[in-house]
Amino acid sequence: MTQNETDWRAVDFFCGAGGLTSGLIAAGIQVLAGIDVDASCQETYEANNSGAVFLERDLSSYAPVQLESDLRLHRRDDRLIFAGCAPCQFWSLIRTNREKSEKTKNLILEFQKFVEYFEPGYVVVENVPGISSKPDSPMSKFIGALEGFGYDVASGTTDMSLYGVPQRRRRFTLLASRVSSASLPLPRGGSRTVRDVLGVENGFGPLEPGAIDESDPLHSAAGLSKLNQERLKMTPKDGGDRSTWQNRPGYQLACYSTEEKKFYDTYGRMWWDRQSPTITTKFFSISNGRFAHPEEDRAISLREGAALQTFSRDYKFFGNGMASIARMIGNAVPPDFAKIIGEHIKSLAEDE
């Protein structure tokens, strides 16, 4: 089904590189636009999501009537979906720099004004679990507002590994409907592991640290110092960690010298037959988690991280260096999960 053959339409707020948009399109939903304040995402978004335009907008100064004009939207469209996956670092349960994310912590309430004005048939939100569990979070206000607008709301923490995403990725998921009962989709897609996605059998050729695969420039790995290369060579294959070398003279990490039994994921390898850890914005660095390849002495490549996020192998990423592309990949909603959400919304409408 092409985008022009469906009467389902969507707008992807905080769209980033387009993971959610890509999944909704795969579900047969016409995505009209992705909205984001980060202009660096535009080339990636539009190169991969034909028919969807990128609107560089700051929701704090962008009014619903402007969106109405930009996209010629109709209010109370029963087959219109608004997805609002706002930046969520402030509410993460993982230790992060709260000062850097302070100004974006309540963006979900900026999204709320668009829901109130347009009253779309369906609303989707994906965020970190902490946004629903912390007492000062804006999510409870947002849910209360949705219910006040007449929406039936279903929400909860989703383990995406139960939906075919080959990583341990837990996210708060909300689906609200103005025209039907709401529910979250049941797990489907199977339990996939790193072995199902990475490795030579899946088209990922061997790679040295700092090297780029000529057949796919995104299959590139960060460089490593000589010391870190030696550390990885001493780290057992398939799930090994730094415990094998942490007490050897010259190899111990000063930051962990008093915490020998903590943070073993750092500098650790992934396991072949388990899901990967959550793909974060720093997945290209072995010092930021268990992001070393299960077998090769390097961090996983950008393309491997994208594959673990379920982006298709031909998804193109454009950015100013490895860190900017990794940020797009790590922040994305996995397209395979987004497709399941889109299909579930359509099934809810059919049941009415």
Contact by Cβ (8 Å): 327, 281: yes
Mean pLDDT over 46-61 rounds to: 96
Q: Which two tokens stand for residue 98?
A: 């709260």
| Cβ partners under 8 Å of residue 55, min gap 6 | 33, 34, 35, 36, 70
Question: Can you give the pTM of this predicted structure?
Answer: 0.91
Across the range 309-315, mean pLDDT stands at 98
DSSP 36-59: ES-GGGHHHHHHHSTTPEEEE--T
Q: Name which residue leads in pLDDT, 118 or 248.
A: 118
Residue type at 230 in one-letter notation: E
pLDDT digits (tens, 9 = 90+) for 231-267: 999 999 999 999 899 888 888 877 766 555 567 788 9
Do 3-189+333-351 and 194-330 share a fold? no
Q: Is the pLDDT of residue 5 over 70?
A: no
- Tell me the catalytic residues: 88
**Largest interatomic CA distance in the chain:** 68
Q: Would you state the pLDDT for residue 91?
A: 38
Domain boundaries, the chain: 3-189+333-351, 194-330
Average pLDDT score over the chain? 91
Structurally, at CATH architecture level, domain 3-189+333-351 sits in: 3-Layer(aba) Sandwich (3.40)
**Domain 194-330 is classified in which CATH homologous superfamily?**
DNA Methylase, subunit A, domain 2 (3.90.120.10)
Contacts of 61 (CB under 8 A, 6+ apart): none
Q: Which amino acid is at 347?
A: S
